Each structure stands twice: as structure tokens, then as C-alpha cells.
């Protein structure tokens, strides 16, 4: 296994629900290093740029609207096999199908309001991390 970085986002529903701290605790308890984090509020154009890969999907507009409804917390996480391990900790997109103890099982309310985002591949992680963070903002621990 190799050490990887991945992007994680605590989405607006989780921030508004007051569970961001509990999600961060799960991240740290899971052995991830948080190399960068900040609270932002995306515009529709920011969200559309980030989710451009989904532009032709029927849920694109509602996803962008959802991501602009309040602040979110993008983070850079690091760990061996971080991408898959973060996806495992997040749980299935549909919280009703997520495994017990995962973030989405514990904190998400629907497929759309699913509390967190994570990169799905090494190439995606590089692109997504650079969307929110420049090199000076990412700190090795």
C-alpha cells in the first residue's frame, strides 16, 4: 500500500446539522492525517465547476444548489490507501444502504443530503484537491 491524499468535504447539511466536529473526530479516529481544512461557502458557479463531470446528469442542478445552501468544509486527508479507506468510512451514497458506523449511516439523511464527499480515484483526488487548495495551504504532519 502507498500513502495517498484524498479530498474530503463535509457538506452543507452536516455543517448545518452541527455534526462537523463529530465527523472530524471519526476522520482522526480512523487514522487519517488532516493536512488542510477550511470552511467556505461555494457559489453556484464554484459548485458547477467542481461537479463539472456531472454536468449532463439529471441531478447536476440540484446538486449544485444543495452545495451552495450553506458553508462546507473541504479537507485534504492523508493515509495509506486513503482514497479507498475514506470511501469505506463514508459509507454508501444512500445512507439507508450504508454500513453501521459509517459517516453516512450516522449523519446523512438522504442520497442527496449525504453529509460528505470523497474523491473516487488518484487522478480525481489530485484535481479535486487543487480545486480548493494551493500547495502553500497543504501542510505535511
Q: Which residues of 70-94 are buried (b: 16+ CB within 10 A; e: fewer)?
A: ebbbbbbbbbeebbbbbbebbbbee
Q: Are 42 and 68 in contact (CB under 8 A)?
A: yes
Instruction: Answer yes or no: 139 catalytic.
Output: no
Phi-psi region of 101 (alpha: psi -120 to 50; beta: other; left: phi over 0): left
Among 11, 26, 104, 117, the active-site one is: 117
Q: Are 83 and 119 in contact (CB under 8 A)?
A: yes
Tell me the C-alpha distance between 61 and 52, whole Å.
11
Q: Looking at the annotation, which residues are catalytic?
A: 117
Amino acid at each position: 500500500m502507498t500513502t495517498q491524499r484524498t479530498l474530503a468535504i463535509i457538506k452543507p447539511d452536516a455543517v448545518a446539522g452541527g455534526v462537523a466536529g463529530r465527523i472530524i473526530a471519526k476522520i482522526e479516529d480512523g487514522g487519517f492525517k488532516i493536512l488542510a481544512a477550511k470552511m467556505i461557502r461555494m457559489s453556484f458557479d464554484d459548485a458547477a465547476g467542481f461537479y463539472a463531470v456531472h454536468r449532463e446528469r439529471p441531478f447536476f442542478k440540484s446538486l449544485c444548489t444543495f452545495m451552495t445552501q450553506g458553508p462546507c468544509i473541504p479537507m485534504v486527508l492523508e493515509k495509506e490507501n486513503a482514497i479507498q479507506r475514506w470511501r469505506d468510512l463514508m459509507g454508501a451514497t444512500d445512507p439507508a444502504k450504508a454500513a453501521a458506523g459509517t459517516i453516512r449511516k450516522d449523519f446523512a439523511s438522504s442520497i442527496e443530503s449525504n453529509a460528505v464527499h470523497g474523491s473516487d480515484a488518484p487522478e480525481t483526488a489530485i484535481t479535486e484537491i487543487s480545486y480548493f487548495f494551493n500547495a502553500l495551504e497543504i501542510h505535511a504532519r
